[in-house]
Amino acid sequence: MSWFKRKGSNIRTETPKEMPEGIWVKVPKTGEAVHRRELEDNNWVDSASGYHFPIGSKEYFSILFDHNEYTEIAGNIKPSDPLEFEDRKKYSTRLEETQKKTGLDEAARVATGKVKNQDMVIACMDFRFIGGSMGSVVGEKLARAIDYAREHEYPLMIISQSGGARMMESVLSLMQMAKTSSKLALLNEAGVPYISLMTNPTTGGVTASYAMLGDFNIAEPEALIGFAGPRVIRQTIGRDLPEGFQTSEYLLEHGFLDFIVPRTRLKSKVAKLVQLVLNKNNSKNR
């Protein structure tokens, strides 16, 4: 198999990396190689093993919005470096480098468009951007997504993939939990449906704010979802974690998810759920 061009063969479920380039892609779960086109046509899910490759906002928007048509909201919100934070690297440098590498402005994008003919607002995080961490920009973009959904009475979906709040904005990142939750209180009052989709991984301050506040909390299969990271918990309790701990399946079993949906059925199931909630499930749509 040496003629296959392969890169990034060390993808593990805990730390999603970018989609590897090349025509053939190795499935981390099985070690098999699959054709890239085949993967794309199957929403980046390996049909043999069911492995969900990590994807970003661009791919989720293309999966969900009809004909991949949507209007981006709050695209003009860009990060700053309010604390002039510096660890081994300056935060401002880190931002620039990440923007260059990913072609993204920040760790979330918001768009509105039609999903099976129903207007929706979809916000999607990008794990590739500093671990999908939530700072001021993610908070503001989500706040605007929530406001837009409320003002237009469009159902909202937020797709989370994040290591949690962003350290480099310290308490300002923490306050984004308060900000998004406050906005969701208003959405809740307005009776506009909110679906929270958790993908691999969803942890920390993101889980502990908007990700867990959906009218419907749903997840992709085998995603890592939790508050504290597994490593920290292992340190705390001083022993190994049970098999499947903090997976979507575990959360479903413990009552924190409404259902798990494979990405291949995401659009149809979300559209159906929204139709039912809005009581628009007439025979024409069946």
Q: Which residues bind other proteins (CB under 8 A)?
A: 76-80, 82-83, 85-88, 135-137, 139-140, 143, 165-167, 169-179, 181-186, 188-189, 204-205, 207-213, 226-229, 232-233, 236-237, 241-242, 245-246, 254-256
Q: Which two tokens stand for residue 55?
A: 């994807």
In the complex with other proteins, the residue whose CB is nearer, 88 or 100, is 88
DSSP string, 91-144: HHHHHHHHHHHHS-SSSEEEEEEEETTEEEEEEEE-TTTGGG-B-HHHHHHHHH
Q: Which lies closer to other proteins via its Cβ, residue 59 or residue 140?
A: 140
Alpha-carbon separation of residue 160 from 41, 105, 202, 278 (angstroms) = 22, 17, 6, 24
Q: In whole angstroms, how close is the CB of 154 to other proteins at the nearest point?
A: 20
Smallest gap, in angstroms, from Cβ of residue 24 to other proteins?
34
- Residue 107: alpha-carbon gap to chain centroid: 10
122 neighbors 60 (Cβ within 8 angstroms): yes
Scanning the structure block, which residue is given the tokens 């069946």? 286
Residue 137 Cβ, how far from other proteins at the closest point, in Å? 5
Name the residue nearer to other proteins (CB basis): 104 or 233: 233
Q: To which H or E segment does residue 198 belong? A: strand 194-202
CA separation for the pair 55, 52 (Å, rounded): 9
- Cβ 228 to other proteins, closest distance in Å? 3
* Residue among 23 and 186 whose Cβ is closer to other proteins: 186
**Of 4 and 245, which CB lies nearer to other proteins in the complex structure?**
245
How far is residue 250's CA from residue 283's CA, in Å, rounded to a whole number? 36
User: Closer CB to other proteins, residue 41 or residue 75?
Assistant: 75
| Cβ proximity to other proteins, 98 vs 207, nearer residue | 207
* Rounded Cα–Cα distance for residues 211 and 161 (Å): 9
Shortest distance (Å) from residue 10 CB to other proteins: 19
Smaller CB separation from other proteins, 55 or 142: 142
* Minimum gap (Å) between residue 13 Cβ and other proteins: 17
The least distance separating other proteins from the CB of residue 44, rounded to whole angstroms, comes to: 26
Strand order across the 259-260 sheet: 70-73, 108-115, 118-125, 156-162, 194-202, 216-219, 259-260
CB of 38 to other proteins, least distance (A): 36
219: β partners: 198, 260
